[in-house]
């Protein structure tokens, strides 16, 4: 049984804990760390397996009863907590982003690379969970068959209902960072260019926030992305993707199902009630990711679909290209 500690018990940390309890039989959550003692206590009571409750991430990381740690703390703390993870020698799953600045991202990615080279194995994975999403995996499989010809371009939307205290640059570095990673993975190509364009600003977005955002990106293999990112869309959580190929369209709908339009037959995605945030929409992705992580720890066999520190750094670098394009 893998004994897991979680640093951060907000929506993400609590979600990971519940998914482990319900869907990962090889693991259990034994430790929680957060500055909010009540939130820790409430989650611990719900789980029924927690032996350590603390406001000190270092105490959790160094607890000999903890085998592996999930870092879901606020983004600016990821680097410090990753360094604790390196010192501890434990298996780590860190939520994106790897860091909030490019300088820090490059520094910690190098430290992780040096550490893993020294110990001779991969110890730190990053939570780009769309790599484990059934819809994206099915589209990747369909592209690989060649049945619909070569992929040409992608039309995508990512619209949140409430993105909290996000900044204008955060639309690139916090929200769209998932897209910068998933399309590298999906099309097996690197980003050549990323550009942002601002349409009319929404009156429902916080004062001073440039929202929504249009992203135009091009991969080195020629596949081009056009995506809108909306931090404060008010009608429901909406993430959809259409990959247009030479002989067909592959569409991931709001509920994750894949609709194929080809041979003059139009595929239709499911409709119905929308989610309020990403946790429900991507629940299957998080569960599959956690199951794969537990399996990797248990067997020692590296899962190639996990994002590495290098992948996480590239996502940050791609987001930085977008930020720079709107800062000129």
pLDDT at site 170: 95
CATH for 273 = 3.30.360.10
- 61's CB contacts (< 8 A; 6+ apart) are 5, 7, 69, 81, 84, 85, 87, 88, 90
The DSSP code for 178 is H
67 and 10 inside one domain = yes
123 and 147 inside one domain = no
pLDDT at site 327: 86
> Which structure tokens are listed for 14?
């609590």
Contact call for residues 93 and 2 (beta carbons, < 8 A): no
123 and 173 inside one domain = no
Q: Put the strands of the sheet holding 91-95 in their side by side order.
A: 52-54, 27-33, 2-7, 68-71, 91-95, 124-127
Q: Please classify residue 52 by burial: count the beta carbons closer than 10 Å to its beta carbon, then call 0-12 exposed, 13-18 middle and 19+ buried.
A: middle
7 and 97 inside one domain = yes
pLDDT at site 105: 98
Task: Give pLDDT tens digits for 221-252.
Answer: 999 999 999 999 999 999 999 999 999 999 99
83 and 220 inside one domain = no
The Cα-based distances of 149 to 37, 60, 152, 191, 290 in angstroms read 54, 50, 9, 21, 33
37 and 144 inside one domain = no
68 and 201 inside one domain = no
Task: Give pLDDT tens digits for 66-120.
Answer: 999 999 999 999 999 999 999 999 999 999 999 999 999 999 999 999 999 999 9
Handedness of CA 39, 165, 227, 71 (dihedral sign): negative
120 and 7 inside one domain = yes
84 and 12 inside one domain = yes
**Mean pLDDT of all residues belonging to the chain:** 97
C-alpha to C-alpha distance for 3 and 143, rounded to whole angstroms:
38
Mean pLDDT for 189-207 is 97
Count of CB atoms within 10 A of residue 220's CB? 12
Task: Give pLDDT tens digits for 17-36.
Answer: 999 999 999 999 999 999 99
Using alpha carbons only, how large is the chain's radius of gyration in Å?
A: 20
C-alpha to C-alpha distance for 213 and 205, rounded to whole angstroms:
12
pLDDT at 150 over 70: yes
136 and 115 inside one domain = no
Boundaries of domain holding 75: 2-128+286-307
Q: How many domains does the chain have?
A: 2
CATH for 43 = 3.40.50.720
pLDDT at 136 over 70: yes
The DSSP code for 139 is H
What is the model's pTM? 0.95
Mean pLDDT for 126-148 is 98
266 and 290 inside one domain = no
122 and 104 inside one domain = yes
Nearest to 164 by CA among 238, 94, 75: 75
Contact call for residues 126 and 312 (beta carbons, < 8 A): yes
Provide the pLDDT confidence category of residue 328 given band limits of 50, 70 and 90. Answer: low
Residue 295 φ then ψ, to 5°: -65, -40
Task: Give pLDDT tens digits for 185-196.
Answer: 999 999 999 999
């Amino acid at each position: 049984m893998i004994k897991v500690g979680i640093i951060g018990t907000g929506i993400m940390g609590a979600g990971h804990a519940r998914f482990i309890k319900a869907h990962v039989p090889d693991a259990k959550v034994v430790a929680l760390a957060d500055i909010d003692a009540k939130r820790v206590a409430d989650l611990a009571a719900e789980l029924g397996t927690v032996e350590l409750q603390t406001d000190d991430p270092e105490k959790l990381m160094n607890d000999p009863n903890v085998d592996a740690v999930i870092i879901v703390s606020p983004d600016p703390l990821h680097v410090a907590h990753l360094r604790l993870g390196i010192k501890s020698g434990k298996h780590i799953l860190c939520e994106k982003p790897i860091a909030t600045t490019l300088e820090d991202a490059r520094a910690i990615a190098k430290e992780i690379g040096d550490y893993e080279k020294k110990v001779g194995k991969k110890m730190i994975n990053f939570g780009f969970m769309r790599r484990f999403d059934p819809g994206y995996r099915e589209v990747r499989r369909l592209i690989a068959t060649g049945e619909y010809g070569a992929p040409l371009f992608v039309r995508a939307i990512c619209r949140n209902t409430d993105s909290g205290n996000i900044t204008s640059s955060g639309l690139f570095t916090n929200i769209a960072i998932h897209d910068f990673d998933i399309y590298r993975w999906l099309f097996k190509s690197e980003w050549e260019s990323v550009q942002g364009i601002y349409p009319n600003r929404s009156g429902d977005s916080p004062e001073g926030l440039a929202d929504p955002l249009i992203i135009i990106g091009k991969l080195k293999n020629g596949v081009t992305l056009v995506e809108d990112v909306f931090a404060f869309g008010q009608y429901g959580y909406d993430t959809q993707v259409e990959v247009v190929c030479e002989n067909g369209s592959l569409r991931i709908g709001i509920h994750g199902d894949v609709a194929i339009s080809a041979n003059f037959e139009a595929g239709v995605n499911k409709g119905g009630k929308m989610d309020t945030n990403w946790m429900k929409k991507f629940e299957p992705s998080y569960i599959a990711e956690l199951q794969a992580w537990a399996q990797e720890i248990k067997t020692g066999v590296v899962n190639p679909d996990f994002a590495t520190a290098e992948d996480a750094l590239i996502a940050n670098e791609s987001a930085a290209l977008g930020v720079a394009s709107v800062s000129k």
